[in-house]
A and B are shown apart, each in its own frame.
Chain A
Amino acid sequence: MVEIIVHHSHPALTILHERYSKKLLGYFIKMLQNDQEKAQDFVQDIFLKIIEKKHLFDTDKKFYTWIFTIASNMCKSEYRKPLFQSISTDEYELQSKAVFSDDLSEKERFKQIYKASLAQLEVHHKTTFILRYMEKFSLIEIAEITETSVGTVKSRLFYATKKMAEYLKEFDPRYENNLFKMN
């Protein structure tokens, strides 16, 4: 993998793209409020960044972790832009009501509300939550990606879950008993 990066060959980058682009696209979609076009652009950009910043790659670390560090930093930068706005509480309530007015199945409604709740989280909580429960990274890897300690990662995950529970429960506590896998 290191050889691939250092020699900057196009076939090698194509291999990297095949291997990681789908996971990265999924991550960007979750992080960027389900904006699929922007997520596609971000995937394109991240491979250009890999070419530009190949000298920054630490060969002692995993490439998979490194590429997600770049991805997380790209999202963080995007959140700082004034044009980018995370979903407001009013918008969230509107979306949630729209979900209930449609003829969607209960499970589908729950998914929509879940996504809206996730979009409301602060960026550092959202990053940690998505990396852990959707991208299946270990706590140590998340600490490396977000450049924090494992303790901080645990704390962020606890508060992110708590917030999610507040959003979802406040909207409709029925889901507690009817939808979840564990019941």
Chain B
Amino acid sequence: MDRELDKNSEKLFDLIESKNWNQLSQEETKFVLLHMTEDEYHFQRQILVEADDIFKENPDPKPIILPVRKATPILAMRVPLYQTILAVAATVLVFLMLWPKNQEIKQPVIGPIAQQKQEIKTNFVHDTVVKYITLTQIAERVVYDTITAVVQSNFKSEEPRLFQANNNLPFLDLSPEKLEVRGSSLKDENTIGLLPKMVNTIY
């Protein structure tokens, strides 16, 4: 019965709200009588009509009191979720753009050592300073050997030199008497006038 009433409650409501008992058709009357009496129908309809008069006198509302708006501190400000997400995304993007790419963390290579060696790049450094170091080695033992050298020479013995001579050369007589003047003095030259004056000052 309750399930039947639940199913038909909407239709019953439509009838009670819109029609008096005497306005119901025969079919509607039969339908209503399945769920309630004629008196109950009347009574429910009367309750709806009377509802309008129950709360006639309402008091006047008090005037509105609006709160004084205070400046919200930055930490207490409410930010919509989408703005927060956008800010975080922008920060990450800027970070990725500015972060140097060569500082990427290399994953350790796991594999045979031979393969790892092949991957090592060789850098040639051209500014190597070559230093020669003289190492003194001490011989551990000395071997003495006799070498016989046979030298044949075709050279003749040298002529005796001047000072090695046997004083058989005559000495020159250098006495003043022997040394006579054979040249002329420069001041006696006729061409002296052709020489620059400076030369003349010498004399």
Contacts and interface: CB of A to CB of B under 8 A. Distances in A.
Interface of A: 10, 13-14, 17, 21-22, 24-26, 29-30, 36, 40, 43-44, 47-48, 51, 110-111, 114-115, 118, 129, 133-134, 151, 154-155, 157-159, 161-162, 164-165, 168-169, 176, 179-183
B54 A158 contact: no
Given A47-B66, A176-B42, 13 more contacts: A10-B66, A17-B64, A25-B60, A26-B55, A48-B66, A114-B54, A154-B9, A157-B13, A158-B16, A161-B47, A180-B49, A182-B49, A183-B46
B24 interface: no
Contacts of B45: 182
Interface of B: 6, 9-10, 12-14, 16-17, 20, 39-40, 42-55, 58-67
- Interface of B, secondary structure class, is helix
Contacts of B46: 176, 180-183
Given A10-B66, A165-B40, A165-B43, A151 B10 contact: yes
A111 B61 contact: no
B123 to A, nearest CB: 63
Contact of A111 (B42, B54, B63, B64): B54
Contact of B10 (A10, A111, A154): A154
B9 A155 contact: yes
A83 B39 CA distance: 39
Contacts of A158: 9-10, 12-13, 16
B39 to A, nearest CB: 7
Contacts of B64: 13-14, 17, 21, 44, 47
B12 A165 contact: no
